[in-house]
Amino acid sequence: MAFKGQIIIDTEHCKGCGVCVPVCPMKCIELSKEVNGKGYNFTHTVNDSCIGCASCAMVCPDGVISVYKKKI
Amino acid sequence: MNKDMEARRQELLNQGYEEVYTRTKVLTDAVMHYCPGCGHGTTHRLIAEVIDEMGIQDNVVGVSPVGCSVLAYNYFDVDFQEAAHGRAPAVATAIKRLNPDTFVFTYQGDGDLAAIGTAETIHAANRGENMTMIFVNNGIYGMTGGQMAPTTLVGMRSATTPYGRRVDLNGYPLRMTELLSTLPGTYYVTRQSVQNPAAVRKAKAAIRKAFENQKLKKGLSFVEILSNCNSGWKMTPVAANKWMEDNMMPNYPIGDIKVDGKICEGIDANRLVLDHPLTVMQ
């Protein structure tokens, strides 16, 4: 059984600390080169390999990541 | 959650996705003032999630300290009381005694709980007040610019110990959690951390247990959370988390120390009387 996940990131509230980047087991999160309204390099997804494990959401200090998953 | 995100969420739910995790409603929409990557944010989130899961949002009072988390009342959608510096346990004692069925917690940092508020902390624990204390330890005075705290490690650089903390000059790091576990008034004493997903889940379970213990009316539940202070330590958040694992954890070992009023098995008696050899940082 495999899962496919999706994350929604509140980019305006992301502070770009990057704590979620090394904890992602599928390496699908990176800091963007663009900045948000406050000048932080927000987090974004770079590929489609998310499995919905919610590791990124668990460590996010600002709770800006929502995680969704479904069976495939 | 703004309109675009709400639309995206609906789209995913319609496609058969189920929600695994979303920001709890017990946290307000205010943007936290903490530095990027600070463990305070994660700890706030865990407390809010525990309150949400226990369904006690209407029946909980928090007491916020002075320090980085002085504005904690802005971020929780629950009743809050601000206390004078270090006096949160005393204020929480009054709230709990007047409202015995209300869940009361204090949220304090190491400058508040372990420095100016040591007397209040120790006496609240010794009286066995039936409340929860959350102690966020980052080994430094973060808000005032990174000065040495009682919990600063031996050899650790700070604004007031630029060549590293010296035992002959500045004394030893104070280990409040071990100290409080020796008092008969404490019912649950543990030390957790929030640097990776596994640690966060364990910390959440500990906070949940600390809140559940208030129903038993057996004594104080004390949860120390090791946190990074990337601004005070002058590191990136990821490097600060690594530094914490390498240097803080040998001096502040993670795990339960006292559960259900009994010292856990495998806890060395020497560790509790604080005469163990301290690891000196390189």
CATH code at A43? 3.30.70.20
Q: Which amino acid is at B159?
A: A
Collect all residues of chain A within an 8 Å Cβ-Cβ radius of residue B21.
54, 57-58, 65-67
Calculate how close chain A gets to B272, using CA atoms only, in Å: 31
A30 touches chain B (CB under 8 A): no
Distance CA B131, CA B110 (A): 19
Which of A38, A66, A69, A72 to mutate: most B Cβ within 10 Å? A66
- Indicate whether B273 pLDDT > 90: no
Residue that the structure tokens 């003032």 belong to:
B33
Could you tell me the pLDDT band of residue B279, with boundaries at 50, 70 and 90?
A: low
Cβ partners under 8 Å of residue B181, min gap 6? B189, B257, B258, B263, B272
- Indicate whether B230 pLDDT > 60: yes
Collect all residues of chain A within an 8 Å Cβ-Cβ radius of residue B241.
19
pLDDT in tens, B77-89: 999 999 999 999 9
Domain B35-264 class, CATH top level = alpha beta
pLDDT for residue B217: 92
ipTM higher than threshold 0.85: yes
B8-17, B75-84, B266-275: segment of lowest average pLDDT: B266-275
- Domains contained in chain A, number: 1
Calculate how close chain B gets to A71, using CA atoms only, in Å: 8
B187-196, B217-226, B256-265: segment of lowest average pLDDT: B256-265
What integer best gives the mean pLDDT of chain B?
A: 91
Q: Which domain holds residue A51?
A: 3-71
pLDDT for residue B269: 62
What is the mean predicted confidence (pLDDT) over B107-114?
93
Collect all residues of chain A within an 8 Å Cβ-Cβ radius of residue B36.
15-17, 40, 61
Q: Which residues pair with A66 in a beta bridge?
A: A8
pLDDT for residue B272: 62
A67 touches chain B (CB under 8 A): yes
Compute the CA torsion angle B79, B84, B88, B94 (nearest 10 deg): -70
pLDDT for residue A36: 92
- Indicate whether B248 pLDDT > 70: yes
pLDDT for residue B172: 87
Phi, psi (degrees; rounded to nearest 5) at B13: -65, -40
Question: Domain limits of chain B?
Answer: 35-264
Pairing label, strands A3-9, B60-64 = unpaired
A63/B23 CB distance under 8 A: yes
Which of B8, B14, B23 to mutate: most A Cβ within 10 Å? B23
pLDDT in tens, B126-136: 999 999 999 99
- Indicate whether B280 pLDDT > 60: no
Q: Which amino acid is at B74?
A: N
Pairing label, strands B132-137, B220-226 = parallel
pLDDT for residue A46: 92
Collect all residues of chain A within an 8 Å Cβ-Cβ radius of residue B230.
17
Cβ partners under 8 Å of residue A12, min gap 6? A36, A37, A38, A42, B2
- Please tell me which of the candidates A12, A22, A67 has its beta carbon nearest to residue B21: A67
Task: Determine contact, residues B88/B117, Cβ cutoff 8 Å.
Answer: yes
Distinct helix (H) and strand (E) counts, chain B: 12, 9
pLDDT for residue B81: 95
pLDDT in tens, A49-61: 999 999 999 999 9
- Please tell me which of the candidates B41, B197, B236 has its beta carbon nearest to residue A61: B41
pLDDT for residue B109: 93
Could you tell me the pLDDT band of residue B278, with boundaries at 50, 70 and 90?
A: low
A54 touches chain B (CB under 8 A): yes
